[in-house]
Amino acid sequence: MYLLRPVQNKHAAWFTLVSNCDETWRLSIRRTNIMNIFVGATMSDTIYKIFPRYYYPTYTNEQIISAVNMLKSTSKEEITFTNYKSIQFIDCGEGLEHIFCPWCGYELDIGFWQKAMDKAFDDNSYKHLGLHMPCCDLSSSLEELIYIKPCGFATFVIEVWNPTNIPCVVELHEMGKCFGNVNFFRMISARI
């Protein structure tokens, strides 16, 4: 979130731009060609979320920091991490469009999914991820559902904020070596 203040300058030219989120921004172009955004508004962020493929083990901060430092050695981006120490839903932000059954491909009703998420959540953690599919009468889990855009479950997440260079597979493999498995991590993007 950015809070920007107005520039009081009678020599400036004022422009109004509308973003895809219907937020209005005003730009001041001074004679020195410096642009100042001055309306308090929220800009959306793109976050690349890196987390383990398997959600059940917990990890220490030292293990996670070693992976973060591996990524920081090749990247100048803003990188943060959160160790939940319990299973949490790692979402794609505002990009979740559809959820499908992994067995028959049927698109699930969002209400069914929300009820299943509520049922699985217990004491600040997701504990009971198993569910019975209403479409094909088979057993599955919240983790196995096909999310468009991808989501997942994990005990920790490493976040790369607004990157100019997206972490590549080689970097994910190098980070995975900190946990003894080059295929340890998966990555999704989120827009908030």
Range of the domain at 185: 46-191
Q: Each residue of 105-128: pLDDT tens digit? A: 999 999 999 999 999 999 889 988
Q: What distance in Å separates the CA atoms of residue 183 and residue 160, rounded to the nearest whole number?
A: 19
Name the 3-class secondary structure at 171. Answer: helix
Global pTM? Answer: 0.75
Nearest to 153 by CA among 68, 54, 63: 54
User: Are 33 and 89 within one domain?
Assistant: no
User: Are 39 and 62 within one domain?
Assistant: no
Q: Each residue of 39-86: pLDDT tens digit? A: 444 578 999 999 999 887 889 999 999 999 999 999 889 999 999 989
Omega within 30 of 0 (cis) for the link into 149: yes
Domain count, the chain: 2
User: Are 21 and 53 within one domain?
Assistant: no
User: Are 28 and 7 within one domain?
Assistant: yes
Q: Each residue of 90-100: pLDDT tens digit? A: 999 888 999 99
User: Are 81 and 96 within one domain?
Assistant: yes
Q: Each residue of 158-187: pLDDT tens digit? A: 999 999 999 999 999 999 999 999 999 999
CA 78 to each of CA 58, 68, 72, 167: distance values in angstroms, whole numbers, following the listed order = 24, 11, 9, 12
